[in-house]
Structure 1
Amino acid sequence: MKIGFGGGCHWCTEAVFQSLRGVTEVEQGFIKSLAPHDTYSEAVIVTFEPDVIPLQVLIDVHLRTHASTSQHKMRGKYRSAVYVYSDSQADMVRCHIIASQCDFDNSIITMTLPFDGFKLSPEQFRDYYRSNTEKPFCTAYIDPKLSKIRQQFDRYYEPAKP
């Protein structure tokens, strides 16, 4: 099963979903939806095994590892969204985001959008965390997100494979 996630730097988003048991592939790049969200925005496509990691858990991880309640000035480049492949997937995502709102002090701004296109990142930027774990960007931005996953989603955490 596939789903798309966008909200922050795709290096971070890629590393977050690569760290989860049941995720079989993470494609890093740029996703677009339908107008008015038809510009490409940094995101990932996640292929996962729903019997190992439910879609609801993926959504929870996503909401907690990027600024899902902040309408900051970089939202054009970092659109906060879950990109869906079917109407039934859209309904499930919307319902879960609404149910998750009680866990947040501010309103969740993450949109549920239909997937409409994808451009893969250049090869030198893919698997960024796995190739650059000691670089300052990784230690400053990605490691805290992975720490949060270990704390809040330990059942699904799987250390990165080289």
Structure 2
Amino acid sequence: MTPNIIKIGFGGGCHWCTEAVFQSVKGVEKVEQGYVTSTKSNSGFSEAVIVHFNIKCVTLTTLIEIHLFTHKSKSDHSMRGKYRSAIYTFNNTQHEDVVQLLKGFQIEQDQKFITQVLLFQFFEPSRDDITNYYYKNPKKPFCETYINPKLKVLLQQFSEHVDQDKVIHLKA
């Protein structure tokens, strides 16, 4: 891995949705879809992605902001065990940076984020047949119902960070 490529984990809703969002961002080199565990009360598997990104092309701040505003980061529900709203960090320095960034974003919000900052523990990749789900199946009902609205938010709020070639069909 090159020195400019670092990784961070994100969990929110379905990993198909999270994967599609981050696959559409300029500077993201790779998105691994699967199931992540953390420690203590968050040691159970939860759907998530590991995002490998080039820090010369996109910042951690931008990725966290995209994450917070493309899933229900302020709403708790009964499926939060399977769909934990979280940012998974890979070392203590990154963990502290993310905690501070999340506090900064919280200042501008009326409602509290439920997104947790957790230490990454373990990753189990998804089966190959369900990875890259959106870009293999953009016309499937799940994609049109759940993923397209998130990609439209991405286009509307973060257009300068979107790989326009990947989301061209949403503009039509």
Give the alignment's TM-score, normalised by structure 1: 0.97
What is the match of residue 137 of structure 1? 142
Counterpart code for 1:7: G
What is the match of residue 122 of structure 1? 127
| Residue 43 (structure 1) shift | 0.1
- Which whole-Å CA distance do the structure 2 matches of 1:143 and 1:36 have between them? 32
What is the match of residue 166 of structure 2? 160
CA RMSD, aligned part only?
1.0
Counterpart code for 1:97: L
Which of residues 56, 64, 67 is equivalent to 1:59? 64
Deviation by residue 1:5-60 (Cα, 9 ceiling, x = unmatched): 00110000000000000000000000000111100100000000011000000000
- Which whole-Å CA distance do the structure 2 matches of 1:70 and 1:100 have between them? 16
Q: Are residues 1:27 and 2:32 paired? A: yes
Moved more, 50-59 or 150-159: 150-159
Counterpart code for 1:69: K
What is the match of residue 76 of structure 1? 81
| Residue 102 (structure 1) shift | 3.0
**Could you list the runs of 5+ residues in structure 1 that have no partner in the other structure?**
none
| Residue 67 (structure 1) shift | 0.7
| Residue 106 (structure 1) shift | 1.1
Aligned residues: percent identity?
47
- Which whole-Å CA distance do the structure 2 matches of 1:102 and 1:88 have between them? 22
- Which whole-Å CA distance do the structure 1 matches of 2:76 and 2:141 have between them? 26
User: Which segments of structure 1 move beyond 2 Å, counting only runs of 4 or more?
Assistant: 102-105
Q: How many residues align?
A: 161
- Which whole-Å CA distance do the structure 2 matches of 1:105 and 1:135 have between them? 35
Task: Specify the SS of the correspondent of 2:40.
Answer: coil
